[in-house]
A and B are shown apart, each in its own frame.
Chain A
Amino acid sequence: MSKQFTKVLILLLLTFSLVACGEPTNTPTPVPTPTVVVTTNQTAKTTAAKTTMVATKNEPDLTAVFPEKTVIRTFTDQEGHTIRLFYGRGTGHNGDYGWAHILGKHVNGIWYDGGTITTYPKAVGAKTPAEVISLIDKSLQDKTPDSQAGGRKTYVYFVPNTKNDVFTVVGSDGTIITAYPVPHGSKDENS
């Protein structure tokens, strides 16, 4: 009887221990989000912001807010130069640049510092940010960009079925400063 009892006890203990271990749980383990952002400290000695390179496969949302040095899009001009569109600054004031500026002033018409406000929807009928990006890309295919003071370059694209060009200004380091619609021929020194 005692032998029988011991056997039953052992069996019970084994059963309990198996139940306690149980099957592997199906609780999802947090998987790191696929990283498309590679951060490099470009200027270690200075206080300048870090440069954020964004892979082209997963391009940033054109309506989202990003750190200033996020590359929104990368283009190549006709001469093979790499041109970068950074998120930049878009406060609606002097000194704005990049995509935040283009979207704020030249798409949404938000600008507090006077002067003219030329917008893509009004001038060339581009209603979505993606259409604007496409026009900027086309302007950078200008075969004869104009050289400006300070190593800046300007590119022009005549938008079909309109009387306007898209005028893109690129800084000496290959960064897009601004891009906006202008009356056809008014900014092109080759026209």
Chain B
Amino acid sequence: MTKTQFQLTLKLQPSPEGLRQLQNWPKTPFSPDFAVAASGLIQLKIGDKFIGARDGKIFVGSPFDKTLNFWLPDYLGGFATNLGQAALKLHKGAKSTKAGFIDEPVALNFQRQPDEYIQIQFEAEGQTIQAVSIPLSNFYHEIAHALQNFQQQLIAINPNLSDEPEVREMAMTIRQLLEKSNK
């Protein structure tokens, strides 16, 4: 059995004010933005390593390393929609795309490889930290699964959020990516 080479987990963890806005949307508008209200944490496994941080720096390690924090903070709503958009670009034939974090000097770069593979490269402070190549269908599946999970966390807070434009767009992206990953 092959181990998963790329794993992405999005954990919604809004500020108290962000939570209040998410709970009361659309009655209470986002201030200033969906991305800020839906802040949270991102966990990444690339190859056999997890990406972590310590003292403001990025490191790779194993989950047994208690000195590293394997949850990276960001305006999660913004990163998630950037990620969905990047995956859709690949889906439509782009050779390479990137999904940038919003408040971290960090990005996930995606580059198509021969034989329906894709290289996923984690870049921090302009340096490649970790990279792996996986089948494109697995990639679409993992992204769709991560976004779906994030969407469910949002809807658990407030079912009305399924009508929020960025969440609605995310749902469309998930559908398209799942179609592709099931082919």
Contact = CB atoms under 8 A, between A and B. Distances in A.
Contacts of B69: 114
A182 interface: yes
Contacts of B82: 148-149
Interface string B25-48: 001110111111101110000000
A183 B34 contact: no
A12 interface: no
Contacts of A93: 15
Contact of A114 (B27, B53, B107): B53
Interface residues of A, number: 46
A60 interface: no
Contacts of B72: 114-115
A46 B29 contact: yes
Instruction: From A91, A116, A189, name the one whose CB has the most chain B CB atoms within 10 angstroms.
Output: A116
A173 B85 contact: no
Contacts of A111: 56
B179 interface: no
Nearest to A154: B100
Interface stretch (B118-126, B136-144, B154-162): B118-126
A96 B15 contact: yes
Contact of A115 (B28, B34, B74, B166): B74
Given A94-B39, A116-B125, A150 B33 contact: yes
Interface in A8-23: none
A18 B6 CA distance: 95
Contact of A86 (B32, B39, B73, B98): B32
Interface string A95-114: 11110000001000101011
Contact of A94 (B14, B53, B100, B169): B14
Contacts, number: 136
A116 B56 contact: yes
B75 A177 contact: yes
A111 to B, nearest CB: 8
Contact of A91 (B14, B15, B27, B56): B15
Interface in A160-181: 167, 169, 171-173, 175, 177-178, 180-181
A59 to B, nearest CB: 20
B104 interface: yes
A187 B104 CA distance: 10
A134 B127 CA distance: 27
Interface string A107-139: 001010111111000000000000000000000
A171 B57 contact: no
B105 A183 contact: yes
A73 interface: no
Given A115-B53, A171-B33, A149 B166 contact: yes
A109 B169 CA distance: 35
A149 B78 CA distance: 7
Contacts of B134: none
A186 B125 CA distance: 7
B106 interface: yes
B73 A46 contact: no
A113 B73 contact: yes
Question: Which 6 A-B pairs have CB atoms at the shortest separation, nearest pair first?
Answer: A95-B15, A183-B126, A149-B81, A117-B56, A171-B33, A175-B32
Interface of A: 43, 46-49, 86, 88-89, 91, 93-98, 105, 109, 111, 113-118, 148-150, 152, 154, 167, 169, 171-173, 175, 177-178, 180-187, 189
Given A89-B17, A171-B36, 18 more contacts: A46-B29, A89-B15, A94-B13, A94-B39, A113-B73, A114-B69, A114-B72, A118-B105, A148-B78, A149-B78, A149-B85, A149-B166, A150-B35, A173-B32, A177-B32, A177-B103, A180-B105, A186-B107
